[in-house]
Structure 1
Amino acid sequence: MTQQSPETLDFLRRRRSRPAKTLSPPVPGLDEVRDLLAIAARTPDHGKLEPWRFLVLERPALERLAASVAPHGHMVGIEEEKIARMERQFTEAHLAVVVVASPKPSDKIPDVEQLLSAGAACYGLLIAALAAGWGANWLTGWAMHDRGFVEGALGLTERESVAGIVHIGTETAAPPERPRPDLDALVTWVEA
């Protein structure tokens, strides 16, 4: 049996994302962000392909993205409220990390496993930020699934996609606890 960490288990039992709109400065500095990313990069990665990469969005980049949301949204016919919500995600943010799913050609590792590895990197970054004492939240939104937007505004390639945006900052309000899944409705014990 490997070394136990009751503190880690307790942290994971109590883990709660902080709403992105409640995060404010200060945000982690360059060295701390690099440390959080190093932790996130320790994600399960079948084949050691590193099928993800990180885009660290500081305030000027977030402002640029916010300004590009409405013109693109109007061009592709997105509802006004969805456009406004996506703009707010960037205008209210002070630091965010886009986790880009970047699958590598492989005869052995299917794209779905590589995408799951990128999702695990999102969760690893979220957990690392929360464990370091920051508020953090994992979001996406319509623009993150729009090919024209992600290729034009974020520079993603044709094979890449956004696995998630992890917002990181100082928590300004403690989130209320929310209902958790009913394990009895979700778990099937297979005995044979």
Structure 2
Amino acid sequence: MSDPSPAPRVSDRLQATRPSVETLELLANRRSILARHLTTPGPDTTELEDLLRLAARVPDHGRLGPWRFVIFTGDARARFGEELARIVQKELPTADEKRLSLERGRLTRAPVVVCVVSNVTYGHKIPVWEQELSAGAVCQNMLIAAHAMGYAGQWVTEWYSANPQVDAVLGLGRNERIAGFIYLGTASVEPTERPRPDWRDRTSYF
């Protein structure tokens, strides 16, 4: 795979459009891979930096950049899993070892995990909803960019995306919430297409 184009500088002239059959084909066939079906290799340091740069090129009304990233690679995945097991054991004292082992291994399902954090500015003229949508766009951009780089991924929430104790472990502020964990790696299985909503049933003209 060739390296992504270098980041343009502020005020550089950009193409208004860039027709690409390859991009349309990618979008038509992109499919998430379950985290448990992701294996090594994952994006290396340089590829991950490129991936985050591309993910961040999203609509952002007010240019607030209302999101940030927390990266988990190597031992950090297991350390976070220990925190998840600790929280479960505290909140659910009857949790057995099978459940605690599941929590310890949450992030080790993939070689690289990126937590996308929605970071909103309250009281700003840009509505909070729009700021949160921008974080969602970052998650989708990351999946598409990873696919184009030759990696597979899954956007996961699960219980630890909405737990105050997890938020504390990650150092989230009062204006922050987790948009999702993006699991990244190499697919160990070939996906099959799943049923999808018929867009025509959900479209009307005003």
Scaled by the length of structure 2, the TM-score of the pair is: 0.84
**Cα contact 2:111–2:185 (8 A) shared by 1:** yes
* CA distance in 2 between partners of 1:73 and 1:109 (Å): 37
- Comparing 18-27 with 89-98, greater Cα deviation is found at 89-98
- Which residue type is aligned with residue 185 of structure 2? G
Q: CA deviation at 1:185?
A: 2.3
- Name the Cα RMSD after superposition: 2.0
Does structure 1 residue 179 correspond to structure 2 residue 195? yes
1:1-192 correspondence to structure 2 within 5 Å:
2-77=17-92, 80=95, 86-152=103-169, 154-190=170-206
Q: CA deviation at 1:64?
A: 0.7
Change in CA separation of 1:16 and 1:79 when aligned onto 2, cut-off 3 Å: farther
Write the deviation string for residues 111-166 of structure 1: whole angstroms up to 9, x where unpaired. Answer: 111110001001111110011100111101111100111222x1111221110111
Instruction: Give secondary structure in 1 for the equivalent of 2:32.
Output: coil
* CA distance in 1 between partners of 2:60 and 2:120 (Å): 11
- Comparing 173-182 with 41-50, greater Cα deviation is found at 173-182
**Cα contact 2:113–2:184 (8 A) shared by 1:** yes
Q: CA deviation at 1:71?
A: 1.9
* CA distance in 1 between partners of 2:47 and 2:166 (Å): 29
- Comparing 59-68 with 79-88, greater Cα deviation is found at 79-88
Change in CA separation of 1:58 and 1:179 when aligned onto 2, cut-off 3 Å: same
Change in CA separation of 1:67 and 1:50 when aligned onto 2, cut-off 3 Å: same
* CA distance in 1 between partners of 2:194 and 2:50 (Å): 30
Change in CA separation of 1:79 and 1:7 when aligned onto 2, cut-off 3 Å: farther
Instruction: Give secondary structure in 2 for the equivalent of 1:65.
Output: helix
Q: CA deviation at 1:26?
A: 1.2
Counterpart for residue 12 of structure 2: none
Unaligned ranges ≥5, structure 2:
1-15
**Cα contact 2:118–2:179 (8 A) shared by 1:** yes
Instruction: Give secondary structure in 1 for the equivalent of 2:106.
Output: helix
- Which residue type is aligned with residue 174 of structure 1? E
Q: CA deviation at 1:18?
A: 1.1
User: Higher helix share goes to which structure?
Assistant: 1
* CA distance in 2 between partners of 1:83 and 1:123 (Å): 30
**Cα contact 1:140–1:164 (8 A) shared by 2:** yes
How many aligned residue pairs are there? 189
Instruction: Give secondary structure in 2 for the equivalent of 1:133.
Output: coil
Instruction: Give secondary structure in 2 for the equivalent of 1:61.
Output: helix
**Cα contact 1:137–1:168 (8 A) shared by 2:** yes
